[in-house]
Structure 1
């Protein structure tokens, strides 16, 4: 009886210790969650109003995160998530941002505003804790922490590339008209509120002004072909309210250079990008040198891509790996042992 009781207690203890990390966020859900997603490395001297995800290292001079107040994360994401290391100038975390870092924080954090929770896989330096909760060394004490971040990074990268490929395959139902120096996008949404344009980077090079007429579209996809992209156009009427409904998909882009303020969410998962002005919307890049701000106005449309993952969040992209099964296995052991104990008592 004592042996059985010990095994039950040990199994319950192991079950309680099992990491309960959230499923990765994928597809258009990721565009809703994060203001900026960089699948590789981010070198920044600027700021992000909403949440930021970095799949590699965060470097550069001093930069700031969650300087505004985004909509509450439906999956509990921190204001800043970095799978790798944080180096360079000090990073400013604002408005209760919090941070998840898989590697080391060498630059240090300024934790501004409301109390924040910072979790670090390695070591953290140059940070005043004060009223905040700061945990380090989690890669050793909680291996599931680092592996969960790495999984999110891997799955997110695959999902963003799959999303871009899926969008590139959509048939155009709307037209862009060039007149002089102006390109006018006239959306003709289908019954589901989806408008699709198909243009080239060379088309954008022909003009200096963009006018966008959504005409009631919930989501407008602008597929832009071309491996080298230069974004230097002015938006007539400003950039407001475009990021929530327009996704510029650069499915071929290997390099992207943005010098003017841009309206609409950007999807360029293979691109090495440089920004020198702000983007109002969500943005996804392969690697990024950021010298321009990221503004809120993240994607909020209801479009669901044609491929849904079997687990994890609901919108498109690469299938999410199943959660480890051993906690359920332990639960089964507990059930069997308890059942045997009850049988012995009644015998």
Structure 2
């Protein structure tokens, strides 16, 4: 019975949410998006993969989906913005497509294959040509609700994922020699290696060597409110974002001054980037002056229950319950609207 109710609720939600028909939750979000900003993004740079912005997108001319990301099972467009798009023109590439909850005053340059753009408010400074551009969609039932639902799921899911990782027991170590930090992963039976550091530990490092040693996922928990990423990777950054998650659960401010290897999870941080990150990235807000490169997370890590004997001991991930509750809420909203229309 519970399964049928959940299926019905999710089906009703999908009908109500033309903008985000299949919400992305949990660890899947790190695989789906190259960049997730839960609040506002001010950008003068580019993102190679998909981008989600929970607030407004501003700044000078910037570029989105300049490469082809891995195939999506969620049918996610290259750019989602819950708020408004302002500032310089935004370039959408390689059939990116976009969904915007508010107005687009900056305009889009729609490059490459034909694209579909859905806008809740008005759109200006955009040449449609062979593309499909629909505006004024906020009047449609469920359009804005769908965007807000995805934002809410990401905000809660990324925060809970980050906090859950901090509860993992460290099984791997980093050694320091002068200004060089060497990370030696010792993965458990599920291929998960866990490091625990402080912000002061990270600040001691000028050069990094990262040895995965066969780990599927290496989680580096870094405690501290103010984080500066200014270290050089002696072993290179290629592929680290697919397997390494730098988790800054306590971070309020994060500054990137050099190229950084690995996915970054900092859902509460106001971030500022001046060079590229190769991997998935999640921030509270972002001033972007450095690129985000593909190499997004591909590992098999999933939060497990404390009784799971084969892995570490985090808290359960909330995505499934959050999605079910959101679906039931949307189903109830649809029912009320239909009853009102019938009256």
TM over 0.5: yes
SS of the equivalent of 2:118 reads strand
CA displacement at 1:320 relative to structure 2: 5.4
Judged with a 3 Å threshold, the aligned counterparts in structure 2 of structure 1 residues 180 and 249 are, in CA distance, closer, same or farther, namely same
Judged with a 3 Å threshold, the aligned counterparts in structure 2 of structure 1 residues 20 and 145 are, in CA distance, closer, same or farther, namely closer
1:193-208 superposed matches below 5 A = 193-208=191-206
TM-score w.r.t. length of structure 2: 0.87
SS of the equivalent of 2:145 reads helix
CA distance in 2, matches of 1:241, 1:226: 26
Q: Is the 8 A contact 1:263 1:279 kept in 2?
A: yes
Indicate the residue corresponding to 2:42 in structure 1: 43
Indicate the residue corresponding to 1:339 in structure 2: none
CA displacement at 1:318 relative to structure 2: 8.1
SS of the equivalent of 2:157 reads helix
CA displacement at 1:154 relative to structure 2: 1.3
CA distance in 1, matches of 2:154, 2:39: 11
SS of the equivalent of 1:147 reads helix
Judged with a 3 Å threshold, the aligned counterparts in structure 2 of structure 1 residues 114 and 23 are, in CA distance, closer, same or farther, namely closer
CA displacement at 1:276 relative to structure 2: 0.2
- Deviation track 1:9-60 (CA, whole Å, cap 9, x = no partner) reads xxxxxx9x95255342122100000000000000000000000000000000
Judged with a 3 Å threshold, the aligned counterparts in structure 2 of structure 1 residues 176 and 319 are, in CA distance, closer, same or farther, namely farther
The partner residue of 2:327 within 319, 322, 326 is 322
Matched, 1:19 2:16: yes
The partner residue of 2:213 within 212, 215, 218 is 215
1:60-71 superposed matches below 5 A = 60-71=59-70
Judged with a 3 Å threshold, the aligned counterparts in structure 2 of structure 1 residues 217 and 318 are, in CA distance, closer, same or farther, namely farther
Indicate the residue corresponding to 1:274 in structure 2: 272
TM-score w.r.t. length of structure 1: 0.86
CA distance in 1, matches of 2:274, 2:325: 34
1:134-149 superposed matches below 5 A = 134-140=133-139, 142-149=140-147
The structure 1 segments of at least 4 consecutive aligned residues displaced by more than 6 Å after TM superposition are 327-330
CA distance in 2, matches of 1:168, 1:237: 26
CA distance in 2, matches of 1:57, 1:325: 28
Larger Rg: 1
CA distance in 1, matches of 2:264, 2:104: 29
Judged with a 3 Å threshold, the aligned counterparts in structure 2 of structure 1 residues 198 and 259 are, in CA distance, closer, same or farther, namely same
CA distance in 2, matches of 1:319, 1:228: 36
- Deviation track 1:92-121 (CA, whole Å, cap 9, x = no partner) reads 000000000000001000000000000000
CA displacement at 1:310 relative to structure 2: 6.5
CA distance in 2, matches of 1:298, 1:234: 20
- Deviation track 1:124-182 (CA, whole Å, cap 9, x = no partner) reads 00000000000000001x13111100111111111111111000111100000001110
Q: Is the 8 A contact 1:311 1:322 kept in 2?
A: no
CA displacement at 1:327 relative to structure 2: 9.4
Aligned length: 311
Judged with a 3 Å threshold, the aligned counterparts in structure 2 of structure 1 residues 167 and 143 are, in CA distance, closer, same or farther, namely same
The CA RMSD measured in Å over matched residues stands at 2.0
Q: Is the 8 A contact 1:56 1:84 kept in 2?
A: yes
Matched, 1:247 2:245: yes
CA distance in 2, matches of 1:20, 1:88: 28
Q: Is the 8 A contact 1:25 1:152 kept in 2?
A: yes
